[in-house]
Amino acid sequence: MTMIQLVYASRPFGFDESILRGILLNARTCNVRDGITGALICRSDLYLQMLEGPTDKVDAAYTRIERDDRHMQIRRLMRSPITSRIFGDWAMRSDPAHSWMWSREQVEDGAAEKAQDEDVLAVFSRLRQEAPVPTGP
């Protein structure tokens, strides 16, 4: 089975805890079903998400996200074949962005779009290193 890693950025539409819970519940349900793992970094001005798994399933998930009206200005940042996953333990790890992420001004100026693949991967690698081992889905 061929696997890919896909990262996109978007801007939340109507960001609040209720919307975020809905996104995470939907993502975890679909991802468990489809064998997708990953992480979602979220804050009021940015969603940055990594999806990892079977190529067809990840591409289908991304197509669903593109049609989801809770996301605006969706931009695919990278899509690469992989042999192992960074977030193999998580159907969808969620995390509010920490201070080492881009500032609001940097996001407005297109920091996500300007980032090189290795910069984007470094964000998720750092999140993985700081994350506790999950105890459930």
Angle of CA points 8, 88, 134, to nearest 5° = 105
Instruction: Say what the pLDDT of residue 131 is.
Output: 59
**Tens digit of each residue's pLDDT (9 = 90 or more) over 56-115:** 999 999 999 999 888 889 999 999 999 999 888 777 766 665 545 778 888 889 888 898
> Cα–Cα distance between 83 and 97 in angstroms, integer?
27
Which residues lie below 8 Å from residue 128, measured CB to CB, with a gap of 6+? Answer: 39, 86, 87
Pairwise pLDDT comparison (66 vs 136), residue with the higher score = 66
Instruction: Say what the pLDDT of residue 132 is.
Output: 57
Instruction: Say what the pLDDT of residue 100 is.
Output: 55
What residue ranges do the domains of the chain occupy? 3-130
Tell me if the domain spanning 3-130 has CATH number 3.30.70.100: yes
Indicate whether this model's pTM tops 0.75.
yes
